Amino acid sequence: MAVHIRARRRWLGHAAGGLATGRQRLGHWSPEAKATGYASRPLKGADRTVQPPFGLGARSLDISTPSEYNQHNNTALNGIQKGKGMVYWRLFYHITWATKTREPLVTAEIEAEIHQLIRSNAVSQGARVHAVNGMPDHIHLIASIPPSIDLSTFVGRVKGATSAIHNKEHPEQRIEWQRSYAIFSLDAKRLPHHVAYVENQKDHHRDATTFAVLERDGSEK
């Protein structure tokens, strides 16, 4: 009889295959895998194994689909299908980085400006921004980045230009970023869930419903 493992709630999905936790024998899941559960699917055979998601807890996000994807889903996705030279591409990334030493530098007074600078600099490189948000000590950016742009170059330019412009205009409230960052690839199906997670950052941190893997900033050992 087929055994079904069901996640108690929807999970965000594999953001990057390389972060998957590896196969775990049924009945011998790690605490992380037990907390996560797995999407409903039949498992057969005595030596059946499953691959749990990459570390997202079973407690669900408060995924209230953003209006952009609820009302204009096709426009939001199809508008990025062709780049220079008529190259077809659909690439989505969730990027996070932190302030230097995790200092709470992105205060409420300058948060909107910082987010707008990030958005503007990303767009100037040919990216389409789906969400920007964060906390005083870190930033989340979800964007579609053309394949012609090196990802590390893109992130470096966004971080560098944002802090340079802000610091020139507001030397009394300087922003400095850590050199590290984390980046996850995702598919179009999971995009709205990641967008909702970013747009509700403050609620998730307040309610302790964040997902550790999506809060990485690249400095972890």
Residue 104: how many other CB atoms lie within 10 Å: 10
The residue with greater pLDDT, 58 or 148, is 148
Helices (H), ranges, 57-137: 67-71, 73-78, 111-124
pLDDT tens figures, 142-184: 999 999 999 999 999 999 999 999 999 999 999 999 999 999 9
Asked if residue 41 and residue 121 are part of one domain, the reply reads no
Average pLDDT in the 46-51 region? 33
Per the listing, tokens 């797995």 go with 38
The lowest-confidence range among 48-57, 76-85, 150-159 is 48-57
DSSP 88: B
Asked if residue 145 and residue 82 are part of one domain, the reply reads yes
Host domain of residue 14: 3-50
Asked if residue 28 and residue 123 are part of one domain, the reply reads no
Asked whether residue 17 is domain-assigned, the answer is yes
Asked if residue 123 and residue 72 are part of one domain, the reply reads yes
Asked whether residue 58 is domain-assigned, the answer is no
Asked whether residue 147 is domain-assigned, the answer is yes
What percent of the chain clears pLDDT 70, i.e. is strictly above it?
61
Helix or strand holding residue 196 (H, E):
helix 191-199
Task: Report which of 117, 118, 109, 154 is spatially closest to residue 136, judged by C-alpha positions.
Answer: 109
Measured CA to CA, the distance from residue 179 to residue 134 in angstroms comes to: 17
Measured CA to CA, the distance from residue 87 to residue 113 in angstroms comes to: 33
Residue type, position 65, single letter: T
Asked if residue 102 and residue 199 are part of one domain, the reply reads yes
Asked if residue 171 and residue 72 are part of one domain, the reply reads yes
Q: Residue 3's beta-bridge partner residues?
A: 43
Total-model pTM = 0.65
Q: How confident is the model at residue 88 (pLDDT cuts 50, 70, 90)?
A: confident
The residue with greater pLDDT, 82 or 27, is 82
The residue with greater pLDDT, 22 or 189, is 189
Asked whether residue 210 is domain-assigned, the answer is yes
Asked if residue 205 and residue 144 are part of one domain, the reply reads yes
Q: How many domains does the chain have?
A: 2
Model pLDDT, residue 85: 57
Asked whether residue 55 is domain-assigned, the answer is no
CATH code of the domain containing 170? 3.30.70.1290
Asked if residue 170 and residue 139 are part of one domain, the reply reads yes
pLDDT tens figures, 208-220: 999 999 999 998 8
